[in-house]
Amino acid sequence: MYIIEGKAHIPKDTKSNPLFIVPDEVIKITAKKLGLNHGGLRGIDPACGVGTIPRVITQIGGSCDGIEIDSHQYNIAVREAKNSNVILGDFTKAESDKYNYIYTSLPFTWFKNEYPLTKIATALKSMLTSDGKLIIDSTDIANRNAESWPLANVQAEYFKKHGFKLDQTLTFTTTKRQDMTDNIFLELVFSLK
């Protein structure tokens, strides 16, 4: 388990809840532990929001592109992740290259509601090289819209059911930032079956 401060970089003009933005420390430690900061590996965040994951990975020497469907967040991501290629679009419909890794924080509510998740797994698999890694930013218990559910377990079961194998879980906790919605961050690392 990693103990972190939990400070998150909140870009100017962010409209989404800043408490849902992954702290830079989580991304840096995860990227270094998995070797994503080495040149030669290509990565993508297919739901990049304001560009946090691509921004941090390129800052530490890696390569990470982004896709964002929301035009406001896309504009922020282009500004924030200026060393990454960020495109506006729906990753489930995008023609994509093959990447060595996908590192993303998918909207947690997708795993609570009846969202058409099958097309998400299919799209993510089509983006990965055969030896690629899928890293999902998660938490043990999601608290959203006055509901709670065991997000990491739901995500792990979903991805295992759709052609992925859970290889490891990196756990991060913070006790300093009490205003955070999530004080535990789980980075779920999958490979293709």
Beta-bridged to residue 138, according to DSSP, are 186
Of the candidates 130, 141, 123, the residue with the CA atom closest to the CA atom of residue 165 = 130
Query: Taking 70 as the threshold, does the pLDDT of residue 39 lie above it?
Result: yes
Half-sphere exposure of 172 (CA within 13 A, CB side): 24
Query: How does DSSP classify residue 183?
Result: S
For 148, the token pair is: 């709670």
Cβ atoms within 10 Å of 89's Cβ, excluding its own: 13
**Residue pLDDT, tens place only, 56-113:** 999 999 999 999 999 999 999 999 999 999 999 999 987 778 999 999 999 888 887 6
Query: Tell me, what's the pLDDT at 111?
Result: 83
Q: What's the pLDDT band for 193 if we cut at 50, 70, 90?
A: very high
Query: Tell me, what's the pLDDT at 124?
Result: 95
SS3 of 91, please?
A: coil
Q: What's the pLDDT band for 34 if we cut at 50, 70, 90?
A: very high
